[in-house]
Amino acid sequence: MINGIMFQAFEWYMPTDGNYYREFKKKLDDLKRIGVTAIWLPPVTKAISLDNTGYGIYDLYDLGEFDQKKSKRTKYGTKEELLELIDAIKGLDMQVYADVVINHKAGADYEEEFMAVPVDWDDRTKEMGEYRKIRAWTGFDFPGRANKHSDFKWNFNHFTGVDFDSISGEQGIYKILGENKDWNWGVSAEKGNYDYLMFADIDHAHPEVKEELKGWIDWFIKELSLDGIRLDAVKHIDKTFMEEFSSYIYEKHGKDFYLFGEYWDGNLDNKMDYMSATNYRIDLLDVSLHYNFFNISKEGADYDLTKILKETVVSDEPLKAVTFVDNHDTQFNQSLESYVETWFKEIAYGLILLRKDGFPCIFYGDYYGIGGEFMTDPMKDMIDKLALVRKNYAFGDQDDYFMEKNLIGFLRHGNEEHPNKMVAVISITEKKTVSMFLGEDQKGKVFEDITGNTVEKTVINEEGYGNFIAEAGKISVYIEDGLPL
């Protein structure tokens, strides 16, 4: 999709009033106007409670349809309201992606007793005690759903680990024992083996689990008429299963169905290995680029801006990168907190929205502001301008002008359908100028900064060069004077 934009349609501290689907529907026209082409919805399946953002997953088949966990609706609303929202999105010719959580389950209906062994928190390959009987919440029979959509029941055999033994009252990580049972090994090698993340960890090597999840994803995609899914916590899920799972989705729903995943790791090699192991079917959120943004927002002039793309997915696999500035995981008071400081936000959004490579994602919390205790101001007006430039002018070949440690710029040449040039320049320490060659056919044209950060206009000289100014700590984005956004 040329110049597509994804919009992550939620943040961690959304209200729990159940009005989300109805309220977000009112925002769609404005998002369509600025060039958004796909909406990434939050987890829409029933979680352990109404105030859970959706990652404490209980029942994959309950989309706000059944009276379970003390409510029919989810945090975000009812199934009927969800379907109405999806119809509205598709009515504006935007795609719908849903967040899919298949790493773990939470809020079991009953406890079970089974054999397990405690392991070291920092090295899950190291057993820390004797094999023993424990009791944990691993039984799921979904009484409120009464077998509608699926009669599959989950028990301890379908999981690899839990984090609490109610017999001893001790917390920890317990590996569940059984015939041919172990941690799944096609996962991140962090902590020795990072199969276990939280709650009751799903065993993706179990034949019954594999068949159930395939059946569910087929139902889920059809039920909601989805165009894609975002896969949560993929570094904790066996990549052999994910290759099989993604292949099944392609077989059932075609190769245009979009898959992208959260492999939260700053190491580029690990992400490259994962994409290779899954036959490049799953795009990845560019976590390394996010951390580059975060680090420069902290370090300022001490950071070498010319290395902003170093060790990123977008630099090595540009067609597989979902680029983002922040998301729900990086917000304040979250386990992966790494929120990019405000002064750098506009620069970061300029880098993901205006450059040639990557599928950029705008974060709800940046666009509309974050709610609750960690409230932030919306940056809608700023992001709107950059998104409209992407929609109308960020086309064609790209020339990079990575000039010096605190000064970079780039030029987009346009294409046959969008022939106008676009220039972006960024300075961190002081007001500086970048000389760029736009072409002799551009001589005499006047360019202005649509961000308003630089007042001076740039006139292209006889040789086709222009001197483009960037103010300290700012991005300036130039298009020809008089062109509309």
Hey, is 315 helix, strand or coil? helix
Nearest to 473 by CA among 382, 293, 344, 307: 344
* Set 195, 232, 326, 329: catalytic member: 232
Which stretches does DSSP call E strand in 56-147? 57-59, 95-100, 104-105, 110-119, 132-139
Pairwise CA distance, residues 189 & 236, whole Å? 9
Tokens of 350: 């300029």
Measure CA of the first residue to CA of the last residue in the chain; give whole Å.
Answer: 21
Pairwise CA distance, residues 438 & 421, whole Å? 8
Q: Which residue has tokens 């509205």?
A: 88
* Set 62, 262, 384, 448: catalytic member: 262
Tokens of 248: 């099944």
42 within 8 A of 63, measured Cβ to Cβ? no
Q: Is 232 one of the catalytic residues?
A: yes
Residue 64 backbone phi and psi in degrees, to 5? 100, 35
Pairwise CA distance, residues 379 & 342, whole Å? 9
Pairwise CA distance, residues 171 & 297, whole Å? 38
Hey, is 453 helix, strand or coil? coil
Residue at 234: amino acid letter: V
Q: Is 262 one of the catalytic residues?
A: yes
The answer to whether the Cα torsion of 471, 476, 478, 483 is positive or negative is negative
Pairwise CA distance, residues 29 & 21, whole Å? 15
How is 159-222 classified by DSSP, letter by letter? EEEEEEETTTTEEEEEEEP-TT----SSS--TTS-----SSEEE-TTSHHHHHHHHHHHHHHHH
- Give burial (CB, 10 Å; 0-12/13-18/19+) of 125: middle
177 within 8 A of 115, measured Cβ to Cβ? yes
| Distances 233 to 41, 184, 329, 455, 461 between C-alpha atoms, Å | 16, 14, 11, 45, 52
Pairwise CA distance, residues 283 & 320, whole Å? 5
Nearest to 336 by CA among 266, 269, 242, 267: 266
Pairwise CA distance, residues 300 & 60, whole Å? 44
Residues designated as active site: 232, 262
